[in-house]
Amino acid sequence: MITTRPLDTEPSTAPAPSWAPRALVAWVAEQVELLEPDAVHWIDGSDAEAARLTDELVEAGSLIALNPELRPGSHLARTDPGDVARVEDRTFICTTDPAGAGPTNNWREAGAMTRELRPWFAGSMRGRTLFVVPFSMGPVGGPLSQLGVQLTDSAYAVLNLRIMARVGSEPLAAFGGADGEVPFVRGVHSVGFPLRDERGETRDDVAWPCNETKYITQFPETREIWSFGSGYGGNALLAKKCFALRIASTMGRDEGWLAEHMLLIRVTDPAGRAFHIAAAFPSACGKTNLAMMQPTLPGWRVETLGDDITWMRPGADGRLWAMNPETGFFGVAPGTGETSNPTAVRTLHANTIFTNVALTDDGDVWWEGLTDEAPDHLIDWRGDDWTRASSTPAAHPNSRFTAPIEQCPSLSPDWDAHAGVPLDAIVFGGRRATNVPLVTQARSWRHGVFVGATVASEQTAAAEGVVGELRRDPFAMLPFCGYDMGDYFAHWLRVGAGLGDAAPEVFQVNWFRKGADGSFLWPGFGENSRVIAWIAGRLAGTAEAVETPLGSAPAPGALDLTGLEITEEALAESFAVPTQAWLAECTLTDAFFARFGGTLPPELHAELADLRARLASAP
């Protein structure tokens, strides 16, 4: 289980640095009065501080130290069985007007939600230490970077945040000193279970540090986040989805940039030409695998810049510049293995926090998909004995790893470039067994926005819902857009109009299409490099294409299949465009677009009409 307790008296009661902004110090003092922690500790980001926090959590039984010979510097955490994923039904966008949230978000009026939250947060940190965590998303002082502060009573959250963002004294210095007025995002997180009651007596009625009542609330208008009751990373690491997508997407709309649920890679062809590609995939649909792909085509190289979030801003040269604002990987463990993603496995060799995976008898970790065969015996994610005869998974389907990005063998040397990298292409993908071809290129930026707006994927274990159910997930941002998605589509159109001919090309891929027998038509994994190579060829003007109702597809012979065992029938079926099935999907798109009412850009209605016309005239 994950718990927190105060640090030793001396470090816990250390005052704020003298050069911390007065406005920040005053805000922290205001929250201390509300939260009533036993102590306050300002995180400096040092290795010694992290070691002290880790040692205390191990001593308390909150972290399990793994075998230092097998997994040095790494630990295992377990969470409440009811606190293992994002809680979308308890995630709220809070604005003064419901139009600010749109029809796809859970809306609450900002003032009413503030009044509702206050009693829950009042005294929620009794018996605990309040950690003040200043952080920078992106290189400190970079043109695409943003500052934030998280207050939390979870040392587990602090240690994870330390891996995922630039924390401590260096970002705090970027606030500009005591008189600094640099804007920053404010976040408050509590696991929602004080260790002392109102009378000051120690509580012993809690086995897990979370509350049955949960709130994951974003206030885009005031750039605030209030998260209560959950210790799960996606709800407790406020710098991640809450800030880097929900709040940042709103900031991007207001300031003319984009905050997206996208991986970022550099692809280099045998001639040494480099291309930067961002790609949007719903959670657990292959983002990390593509971000760390090992190409099977000789002479090709893929370097990792980021696996989950990309911020993009038009540059002085008229191009779209992109960066990964994070410093680590918070990835889904099951399915990550030597076959699917050997680069990720090597990344996790040390200094990693594993959550809700299984523990081996020799002090290492295991999850489904890590190896072809499971060990004979394990301690499962709940802490119970597990054998191959067990009827339940050894690791939770949404179990996680948090690992430093600098341990990634495929990491690009420009991953933390101060100004980011110039973007050449944007790719949309999802998990579709039918309809969507292996790869197509959008006809224009406007058509590309339509492609992104109509992405659908099968439900995964990373979010609540029925696994396998098809759900719309435009731009892979449905759970993460901080404002009306109709306005979001319009913002994408505006950004593209400003870029003009310098806008990145847009593509769609689908690694998951199946044949009539239910088997995958395309081998996937490293073989996806053949599709990426065709995309790079299109960017370089060297790859041929043919027109289809859905966009440009590889011309016969344009996709390098050398050494690949795939039948002509399977290849043809992976590119087939079933007219009637697509016309039926257009009807579903009509219904989906209707949800946005008048905020849906008319350009998307026009693209849907154009698609219908192309389908009607197709052979």
Let me know if 285 is a catalytic residue.
yes
Q: What's the pLDDT at 582?
A: 95
Q: Is 406 annotated as a binding residue?
A: no
pLDDT of residue 208: 59
Beta carbons of 492 and 449 less than 8 angstroms apart:
yes
288 is in an annotated binding site: yes
Asked whether 278 and 312 are in contact (CB, 8 A), the reply is yes
Alpha-helical runs (H) found in 154-268: 155-164, 169-173, 233-236, 248-255
Per-residue pLDDT of 26-56, as tens digits, reads 999 999 999 999 999 999 999 999 999 999 9
Q: Are strands 439-441 and 377-379 parallel, antiparallel or unpaired?
A: unpaired
Spell out, as residue ranges, where the chain has pLDDT lower than 50.
1-12, 468
pTM: 0.94
Say if residue 350 carries a ligand binding annotation: no
- Residue 431 is labelled as binding a ligand: yes
CATH code for the domain defined by 9-64+84-255: 3.40.449.10
Q: Is 286 annotated as a binding residue?
A: yes
Say if residue 284 carries a ligand binding annotation. Answer: yes
Chain centroid, CA 377 distance in Å = 32
- Got the DSSP string for 375-427? -SEEE-TTS-EEETT-SS-SS-TT-EEEEEGGG-TTB-TTTT-TT-EE--EEE
Cα gap 341→82, rounded to integer Å: 29
The answer to whether 428 is a known ligand-binding residue is: no
Tokens encoding 90? 């308890």
Q: Structure tokens of 508?
A: 């769609």
Question: Under a CB-based contact definition with an 8 Å cutoff, are residues 235 and 157 in contact?
Answer: no
Alpha-carbon distances, residue 130 vs 56, 123, 229, 270 (angstroms): 15, 12, 15, 52
Contact 295, 302 (CB under 8 A): yes
| Percentage of the chain exceeding pLDDT 70 | 94
241 annotated to bind ligand: yes
| Annotated catalytic residue, options 94, 210, 242, 285 | 285
- Give dist(CA 602, CA 9) in Å, integer: 61
Contact (Cβ atoms closer than 8 angstroms) between residue 93 and residue 483: yes
Comparing CA positions, the residue from 177, 197, 191, 132 lying closest to residue 158 is 132
Spatial separation of the C-alpha atoms in residues 30 and 130, rounded to whole Å? 13
Residue 585 and residue 548: Cα distance in Å, rounded? Answer: 16
Does domain 329-407 bear CATH number 2.170.8.10?
Answer: yes
Alpha carbons 326 and 539: distance in angstroms, whole number:
27
Structure letter (DSSP) for residue 431:
-
Extract the runs of DSSP E, i.e. beta strands, from 113-210.
129-137, 146-152, 166-167, 185-190
Spans of all domains in the chain: 9-64+84-255, 259-327+413-617, 329-407
For the stretch 274-325, pLDDT in tens is: 999 999 998 767 788 899 999 999 999 999 999 999 999 999 999 999 999 9
Q: What are the beta bridge partners of residue 39?
A: 129
* pLDDT value of residue 6: 41
CATH number of 259-327+413-617: 3.90.228.20
CA separation (Å) from 118 to 31, 34, 125, 548? 11, 8, 13, 56
Q: What is the pLDDT of residue 458?
A: 64
